[in-house]
Amino acid sequence: MVRVSHCFPCITMKSISLVSFLFCTNLLVASQNGIDILIVGGEGIGTNNYPFVVSLQLLWEGDYYHVCGGSIYNTKYIITAAHCVNGWEGSQLRVVAGIVNLNTGSPDQQIRMVKTIIIHPNFDEPEYWNDLVVLELDTPLTFNTKVAPIQLDWPRSGLAYPGKGVTVIGWGITEIVNQETSDSLQEVGLVIVDNDDCNTAYQQIRFAVSKQMICATAPLGKVEGPCQGDSGGPLFTTGKPHILIGIVSLGVGCLDPRFPSVFTRVSSFNNFIRMVTQ
């Protein structure tokens, strides 16, 4: 069984808390500067409709804890957010694929240890620029209907335009006030926000939204999106075939309506991912 307890450490910026959406345990607060996020206002997923999602788990005092989501690139490599693993060794991390419920597990699940951590060389944690890492597994995954890769978005694809509906999934906080969590994978629909508009919003806290980032928010009138525990998870096209557009990276607080959620823009790193996985 995977232990699932949560914390919400943050980075203070100009009196506003800019946070990553990392899933961590209370034991890690003192030693990690990470930040968590979980799906608030989402719907549970009864079966593994998204075979490309994985749970990234950290070994801590004899137990494994879910810390972040991730996406399967191929049988040997996983894509997630760099801040999820910054400061940890591969020997402390494992990946669980083919799972929907973290506590009950699944006969379809496949567990692999992390062999190599390949953080983007220009990752900047204070600013969360280039927030991407590729994880090499010690043993290849076996693909089937429950464990499968997701296609990457590519430059000039035209898929990630403002107003487009997208989906984000993860194992994070589902209720903000009481910090309630779910062991089951959650999904929610978001809408892509124009980068200029997103940057304007974040200028209030003197944070720059770069072209290597992509922003998305809940449809008008809803309070939904990634929160504590969702870091590293996929933002992808709603229709099939699913295409990975973004990686859950950061936000202000948890679903502050003034600030869209910010994701690493996958199309900006397509060449890097291909280069390090050859």
Catalytic residue annotation: 83, 131, 231
Amino acid at 120: H
In this structure, are residues 78 and 273 in contact, taking their beta carbons and an 8 Å threshold? no
Taking the CA atoms of 131, 230, 266 and 99 in sequence, report the sign of the dihedral they define.
positive
d(CA 238, CA 235): 9
**Residue reference for tokens 């929907």:** 100
**Bridge partner residues of 251 (DSSP):** 19
d(CA 91, CA 186): 28
In this structure, are residues 151 and 224 in contact, taking their beta carbons and an 8 Å threshold? no
d(CA 253, CA 16): 8
Q: State whether residue 166 is helix, strand or coil.
A: strand
CA atoms within 13 A on the CB side of 183: 12
Backbone angles phi, psi at 140, to 5 degrees: -60, 150
d(CA 178, CA 167): 24
Taking the CA atoms of 211, 189, 58 and 98 in sequence, report the sign of the dihedral they define.
negative
d(CA 171, CA 179): 13
d(CA 225, CA 187): 9
